[in-house]
Each structure stands twice: as structure tokens, then as C-alpha cells.
Amino acid sequence: MGLLAMLLEGEWYDFGDLAEQIEDWGAPDEAAYVLATLVATVVILLWAVLSVLAFIWIERRVVALMQNRKGPNRVGPAGLLQPVADALKLLMKEAITTAGADRILFWAAPIIIFVPTLAIFAIFPWGENMVLADLNVGVLFLLAIAGINTPAVFLAGWSSNNKYALLGSMRTIAMLISYEIIQVLALLAPVLFVSSMRMADIVSWQEDYVWIVLIQPLGLLAYIIAGAVEMNRSPADNAEAESEIVAGYHTEYGGIKFGFFYQGEYLAGFAIAAAVVTLYFGGWTLFGLEEWIPGWSIFLGKLYTIFFIYIWSRGTLPRLRIDQLMGFAWKFLLPLTIANVLIVGAEVLIWRENELSSWEALPAIAVVNLALGVVLFAGWARFLGHGKGTQAASGAILTQEIGTVHFKPAVGTEAGS
């Protein structure tokens, strides 16, 4: 109980401190470290899995609210036991292996997709000294784990012995590799500011200076969009929408194997939200509030807020077509993120070469980046032809008025002939 009191009060234990505590209770040196790591891993994984369970309910209710209907409200009080019902249903369903499918790969593909996503949670700093794996290349590790998904998705699609699953997995892989490049470039910008890839260093830089979201709006936007696509979430869930290609690469998966995919998606969502919070929104710091509240609760609050943005976009935005998605990545986001890296590099160079103090440099950088971000975003969109005035509503060909509503024919089209 002493440990619990310390955790809640104000002295945050490093996982190394946890090892020392266990050693005080009489365990040999290396075993103490292994035990501490095990305890930390179990706590993080329990949190991840319980959050997934909670968010199944929260997401469905929130999306239902946005769509002006009630969500699940049958199972348990206000539908709170819905995730439990979902989990039980998935566990009790027969997990069929299709005839002609490659048995070992079919069985292994959900596991290969699910397990690396759990590994991402090790690198985030949950509190002041609470990092499970303080990697020097934390940001790159995040991207590498996102990259491990691609062959696993292919194996899931190919081992199902189903042409539609294979096609769906090809489309998903095309989406994933396009947005992986954008993720890498978007995450380069905070690394350029901090000149370190360690997550703890990035958080302490943000504690000293300013949250990176204020000086990097374009990078944040690019990373949030790329993250949504990496998670196969609406508006980019082309690969698994029922009206598109049955269910893409997990068509043939039923029962708990589908449960793995389902849970893996939510876990990937939490991982990307955690990355956004750590890299752009300051991690566990909140302008000094972390003296009184546990740092990890601030982190979790911010994480859930960012995940809410994803739920919000799911409830609001329509699904994009696959060619619209790919065009968006290669034609729009990629030049923007490259320009972003160039601009950030130039700014950091000017800052360091002239040895400006942070009080004069950072507001200038913030204003310049915000202005350039808005200009580049809107200007490039206008250049590609997606501006405001270029898509006039084309008139209905058969009838030109419905009731008292008149449609103006589009300029240049021949209406009604």
C-alpha cells in the first residue's frame, strides 16, 4: 500500500526505482530488474486492454450521439456491458479456417498484427521517470512498428485463399506504405526542433520551451491524418468497409481471430494518440500542473482527448475512395510534409546560427509556421483544383427545380440537353 500511496501522491517511481524496492524486499539484483519490468509491462498491458474495452462502448455511444441516434443501450445499464457482450460473442464463435487456406499463416497473421502494437506502449514516457524502455531512437521505433504491419496484412489477405481478401490486403498495403512516408516526414519536424529522437528528451524540451503543436501545426495535421489511415479508421477504412470489398483482408476471419484485428485497431489508435500527445502536446506536462496531479493521469487525459478527435472524425466525415486517398497522400500531403521539413530545418538553422534566445525565436517561428501552414495548405489545395469556387453545383439534368428550390446550372455545362 505504501507503493500505491507514493504513486498517487507525488513521487513517481522510475521502473528502476521499482526494481530497487523489490530488491529491498530481498531479491537478487538481476531478478529484481526483470520483475520490475514484468510488473510495469503487466500494468501497461492491462491499461491498454481495459481502455480498449471501455472505448468500444464510448465510441459507439459518441458516434451515435453525433448521428442523432442512441447507441447500444440494451446490454446492462445504458449499454455499459456491450463490450463484454462483444467479447463473449467473439470468443464463443466458431473460428473457421477456410478450406485451402494456409493453416499456419492464417492462424499467425492476427497475432503478427496484434503483438507489435502492444510493443509501442513501452517507449512512451507516462510520467516524469516512468519510461519502460528509454530508447535513444524512440521516434524511429514507433515508425518501424507501424511498418511491421505491412507484411502481416499481406499474409492475412493471402492466407485466406480468397481473391477479395487478397485484393483488399493489396489496397490496404498501398495505403499503408503511402502514409508511412508521410508519417516519417511529419515526425521529422519535432525531432529537428529537439535534435534528439528520445521521447523523454522531446517531453522535457516541450516542458522547457513550448508545446510543439504551437510551432508545428502542419506537421500535426499531417501526422493525425496519416495516423488515421494507418489505423484503417474511417474516413480511410476503405479496406474493411462492408460496402467496399466485403471486409478486405479480414473477410475470412471469424471469432476471436477477428477479435484480435478489432482490438489491434483500437490499440493502434491509442498508440498513435499517445505518440501525438508525447510529440506534439507535451506528454505528461501541463504547464506545471504535474506537481499536484500524477503525470500519467495528465497523459491519459490528453490521450483520450486526441482519441476523441479520431472518434469525432469517424462520426462526421464520409468515407474516402481509395484513389482519393492515394491522390491525397502522394499529391497533397507529401509535398506539404517535404516543404514542412525544409521550412523547419531552415528555421532551426537560423535559430542556432544566430544564437537567438528562445523568447524571440519561438514566437517568430510559431507565427511563420502557422502562416506558412495555412498558406501552403490552402494554396496547394487550390493549385490542385480543390478550392472553394471551382466546384459549382451542377444542375440536375432532368428537372431544374424541385418545389421552390432552383438549381443553377454549372458554368459551361449544358443543362438538360
Partner 1 sequence: MDETGVVIAFWVLAIMTIGSALGVVGARNIIHAVVFLVASFLGLAGLYVTLSADFIAVAQMLIYVGAISILLLFAIVLTPQENRNNSEGFLRLPALALALLVGAVMIFAAVDTEWAIADRDGFEETASAIGDALLDKYALPFEIASVLLLVAVIGSIVLVRPEPMEEDE
Does the protein bind partner 1 through residue 136 (CB under 8 A)? Answer: yes
How are beta strands 401-402 and 405-406 bridged, if at all? antiparallel
Integer-rounded Cα radius of gyration of the chain = 24
Beta carbons within 8 Å of 165's beta carbon, 6+ residues apart:
156, 157, 158, 248, 249, 250, 251, 252
User: Nearest approach, Cβ of 197 to partner 1 (angstroms)?
Assistant: 6
Does the protein bind partner 1 through residue 151 (CB under 8 A)? Answer: yes
**If you search the block for the grid coordinates 517511481, which residue do you land on?**
13
Side-chain half-sphere exposure of 17, counting CA atoms within 13 A: 11
Does the protein bind partner 1 through residue 27 (CB under 8 A)? Answer: no
Rounded CA separation 54/31 (Å): 34
Quick one: which of 40, 33, 29, 34 has its CA closest to 3? 40
Judge whether 67 and 315 are in contact, CB under 8 Å. yes
Does the protein bind partner 1 through residue 338 (CB under 8 A)? Answer: no
- Burial label for 322, CB within 10 Å (0-12, 13-18, 19+), is middle
Which DSSP symbol is given to 19? H
Does the protein bind partner 1 through residue 349 (CB under 8 A)? Answer: no
Does the protein bind partner 1 through residue 371 (CB under 8 A)? Answer: no
30/323 with CB nearer partner 1: 30
Binding span for partner 1 by CB under 8 A among 60-68, 150-158, 312-320, 343-351: 150-158
β-strand partners of 406: 401
User: Nearest approach, Cβ of 148 to partner 1 (angstroms)?
Assistant: 6
Rounded CA separation 137/98 (Å): 41
Does the protein bind partner 1 through residue 141 (CB under 8 A)? Answer: yes
Binding span for partner 1 by CB under 8 A among 137-145, 344-352, 354-362, 389-397: 137-145
Does the protein bind partner 1 through residue 166 (CB under 8 A)? Answer: yes
Q: Scanning residues 64 to 103, which ones bind partner 1 (CB under 8 A)?
A: 102
| Region for 27 from its dihedrals, namely left if φ exceeds 0, alpha if ψ lies in -120 to 50, beta otherwise | beta
Residue 355's φ and ψ, nearest 5 degrees, are: 50, 50
Rounded CA separation 120/275 (Å): 9
User: Nearest approach, Cβ of 45 to partner 1 (angstroms)?
Assistant: 21
Does the protein bind partner 1 through residue 137 (CB under 8 A)? Answer: yes
Among 19, 122, 173, 245, the residue binding partner 1 under the rule CB under 8 A is: 173
Does the protein bind partner 1 through residue 143 (CB under 8 A)? Answer: yes
Does the protein bind partner 1 through residue 147 (CB under 8 A)? Answer: yes
Binding track over 180-219 against partner 1, x by CB under 8 A? x--------------xxx----------------------
Among 27, 58, 115, 135, the residue binding partner 1 under the rule CB under 8 A is: 135
Contacting positions for partner 1 (CB under 8 A): 30, 102, 105, 135-137, 140-141, 143-145, 147-148, 150-151, 154-155, 158, 166, 170, 173, 177, 180, 195-197
